Amino acid sequence: MHTPAEAMPTISWQHFEQTDIRVGTIVEATEFPEARKPAYKLLVDLGTLGLKRSSAQITKHYTLDELPGKQVLCVTNLGNKQIGKYMSEVLVTGFADENGDIVLAQPAGPVPNGSKLI
């Protein structure tokens, strides 16, 4: 993991364009007791891309009850990732706070589910 002071290598605009980042609305959040690090299982509505599953280590800043209805930014083209017995289909994005706990990346206002970050 890179710290904020570390610069990442420069990539081309074409590489950036290949990253598919979309907004979706969390429709369901459940416990994920099998995860090695505390996490939730999320079901995210990505509009025309459908409902996608994700696992997110966001238990420090969010409760299960407050997550449904939140819009989040998701990377949709990384492929599936097996996390224990759970298959994550998208990466829900966020930022580490001063303690390393994740704060969700969200649009500043409501936008249609499935909208692409441009």
Q: Is residue 64 part of a domain?
A: yes
**68: CATH:** 2.40.50.140
Residues of the domain holding 84: 19-104
pLDDT tens-digit readout, 67-105:
999 999 999 999 999 998 899 999 999 999 999 999 999
Given strand 51-56, what is the order of strands in its sheet?
51-56, 40-45, 21-31, 71-75, 91-92
Domain count, the chain: 1
pLDDT tens-digit readout, 35-76:
999 999 999 999 999 999 999 999 999 999 999 999 999 999
